[in-house]
Amino acid sequence: MQKIVLFTAFLLLFFSCKEQNNQNDTLKNETSSNKSKKQVDITYAKGFAIDLYDGYKVLTIKEPWPDTETEFKYALVEEKGALPDDADFDAVVQMPVNNIVVTSTTHIPSLDMLGETKSLVGFPNLSYISSKETRKRIDAGNVKELGKNESINTEVLIDLNPDLVVTFAVKGNNKTVSTIEKTGIPVFYNSDWTEQSPLGKAEWIKFFGAIFNKEQKADSIFKNIETEYLSAKKKAAKATTSPTTLSGAMYKDVWYMPKGGSWGAQFIKDANGTYLWNDTEGTGSLSLNLESVLEKGKDADYWISPGQFSSKQQLKDAHSVYSEFAAYKNNTIYTNTTLVGETGGVIYYELAPNRPDIVLKDIIKILHPEVLPEHELYFFSKLK
C-alpha cells in the first residue's frame, strides 16, 4: 500500500513538474517572440500597420478599398534576414528597394521627402506628375511611361524589372495586379486615399519609410507636419468668429460637396469655420439639387473649392444662379485648382494629402487672416 502511495505521489510530482516546464517553455517562447517584435507607432491612419521582426518587417494593409474586410500582408526581408518556414504573405520583397513603380501622384511627395525620387523608374500617365524633382528625371528619360493604372503596359514594366510596384484599387477589381504578379514582380496596395483624417493621409509616409528602410526619417517628417497642423488648429480655435462656408459646385445639374465626416469638411472645422453641411453623415460626397443648396448656402460667408471652376465668369456662364450667392457678390470664393505643374497637373491633388498642415494654414488664412499674418496662400487663391 505504501508503495502505491509513493508511486502515485511520484506520478503527480512528475506530471506537475512537466506541466510547469511546459508553461515555462511557453512563457519563454512568448517572451522571446515579444522581444523580437516591435510595432511602428501609427497614430492617425486607420489603413495600415507596420511590425518589425528580427531580419524582416511586415506591412499590413487593413482596408485596401472601401467596404471590404480583405487584408493584405507584405514582407520586407533584410539582406541577411529570413522569413519563418511557415510564413504566408501576399507579397515578399527583398531589401533594399532600389527601383520602384508607383501609380498615384499622391505617392510622389513621399518619395521626394524621403530622398528617394531617384528610385522611381515608371509611372502611368506621366503628365499628371507636378513634382519638380520628378519632372527632371522624366525629362532626362529616367522615368518610363506605363500607360494607365487600370491597364499598365506590362511589356515596359517587365523591361524595367522594378523591385516593387505600389498601386491602388477603388473596388478591388484591379486586374492589372494579377497580371503583374504573374511576372514575378511584387505588388503592394496603398490605400492612402481611403483615409478621412487629414493627418491620417499624411501618416502614410511611414508606409514608404518602411519600404526604403527609413522609418526614423519618415517619423521625423510626419511629426513636423503633425506639430505644424496642431499648432495652426490651436491658433484658429482662439478666433472669436466661425465664418459660414459652403463648398463644391454643380456637375450636370447635381451639386456635389463633401459630407460632414469627410477630409474636406474636417479642414474647415479645424480652421474654426462653420461648414453648413457639417451635420451630414458619411465621408464621401453629397449629391444635392440646386434649390436646397441655394436655400441653405446663399448667405454663406465663404465658398471653398468651387469644383472645376477657375473664374467667376466661368461660374456665371455655367449657371446664372451662382451669382446669387453672397460669396460670389462679396468676392469670397477660393479655389485650389489654379496652381498647376508644368504639364498641367493640379498640385493640390498631388501634394495636399501629404501636406495637410499647409492646407489648414491656407483655410485659416482665408477664414481668419489675422490669425496667421505671416502665412501666404499656397494651394488656394481667390477666384478672379
Q: Residues 11-36: what's their mean pLDDT?
A: 42
203 in the same domain as 291 = no
213 in the same domain as 85 = yes
294 in the same domain as 217 = no
pLDDT band at 112 (very low <50, low <70, confident <90, very high): very high
Q: Residues 99-108: what's their mean pLDDT?
A: 97
- Whole-number percent of the chain with pLDDT over 90: 77
172 in the same domain as 144 = yes
What is the structure's pLDDT at 173?
Answer: 67
Domain of residue 120: give its range: 38-225
222: exposed, middle or buried (Cβ count in 10 Å: 0-12, 13-18, 19+): buried
Q: Is residue 179 a part of any domain in this protein? A: yes
143 in the same domain as 114 = yes
148 in the same domain as 46 = yes
44 in the same domain as 191 = yes
Q: Is residue 91 a part of any domain in this protein? A: yes
270: exposed, middle or buried (Cβ count in 10 Å: 0-12, 13-18, 19+): buried
254 in the same domain as 159 = no
Q: Of 164, 197, 225, which marks where a domain is finished?
A: 225
pLDDT band at 179 (very low <50, low <70, confident <90, very high): confident
Q: Is residue 258 a part of any domain in this protein? A: yes
- For the domain that residue 366 is a member of, what is the CATH number? 3.40.50.1980
Q: Is residue 375 a part of any domain in this protein? A: yes
* H/E run at residue 100: strand 100-102
Q: Of 225, 256, 288, which marks where a domain is finished?
A: 225
* Cell numbers for 5: 502511495
184 in the same domain as 284 = no
Torsion of CA 282, 284, 288, 290, to 10 degrees: 130
pTM of the model: 0.88
Q: Of 225, 254, 270, which marks where a domain is finished?
A: 225
What is the structure's pLDDT at 268?
Answer: 97
* H/E run at residue 382: strand 381-382
Q: How far apart are CA 273 and CA 303, in angstroms?
A: 11
Q: How far apart are CA 46 and CA 63, in angstroms?
A: 8
Q: How crowded is residue 126: how many other Cβ atoms within 10 Å of its Cβ? A: 17
What is the structure's pLDDT at 283?
Answer: 87
- Give the Cα-Cα-Cα angle 282, 359, 194 (nearest 5 degrees): 35
What is the structure's pLDDT at 12?
Answer: 40
- Count of structural domains within the chain: 2
Tell me the sheet residues that pair with 58: 51, 75
pLDDT band at 28 (very low <50, low <70, confident <90, very high): very low
Whether the CB-CB separation of 83 and 75 falls below 8 Å is answered with: yes
Q: Residues 113-135: what's their mean pLDDT?
A: 97
Q: Is residue 83 a part of any domain in this protein? A: yes
pLDDT band at 174 (very low <50, low <70, confident <90, very high): confident
pLDDT in tens, 303-326: 999 988 989 999 999 999 999 999
184 in the same domain as 70 = yes
Q: Is residue 24 a part of any domain in this protein? A: no
- Whole-number percent of the chain with pLDDT over 70: 90
Q: Residues 197-215: what's their mean pLDDT?
A: 97
Q: Residues 204-222: what's their mean pLDDT?
A: 98
Q: Is residue 29 a part of any domain in this protein? A: no
Lowest mean pLDDT among 1-15, 237-251, 341-355: 1-15
Look-up: residue for cell 504573374?
182
Q: How far apart are CA 319 and CA 170, in angstroms?
A: 32
Q: How far apart are CA 137 and CA 121, in angstroms?
A: 9
Q: How far apart are CA 384 and CA 368, in angstroms?
A: 20
210 in the same domain as 260 = no
What is the structure's pLDDT at 36?
Answer: 55
- Residue-averaged pLDDT of the chain: 89
251 in the same domain as 216 = no
pLDDT band at 259 (very low <50, low <70, confident <90, very high): very high
Q: Residues 333-357: what's their mean pLDDT?
A: 95
**pLDDT of 25 higher than 70:** no
Q: Residues 111-122: what's their mean pLDDT?
A: 98
**pLDDT of 1 higher than 70:** no
Q: Is residue 18 a part of any domain in this protein? A: no
Q: Residues 230-243: what's their mean pLDDT?
A: 97
Secondary structure percentages of the chain, helix, strand, coil, to 5: 40, 20, 40
CA 61 centroid distance within chain: 12
DSSP calls for 11-67: HHHHHHHHHHHHHHHHHHHHHHHHHT-EEPP-SS--SEEEEEETTEEEEEES-SSSS
pLDDT band at 172 (very low <50, low <70, confident <90, very high): confident
Q: How crowded is residue 210: how many other Cβ atoms within 10 Å of its Cβ? A: 22
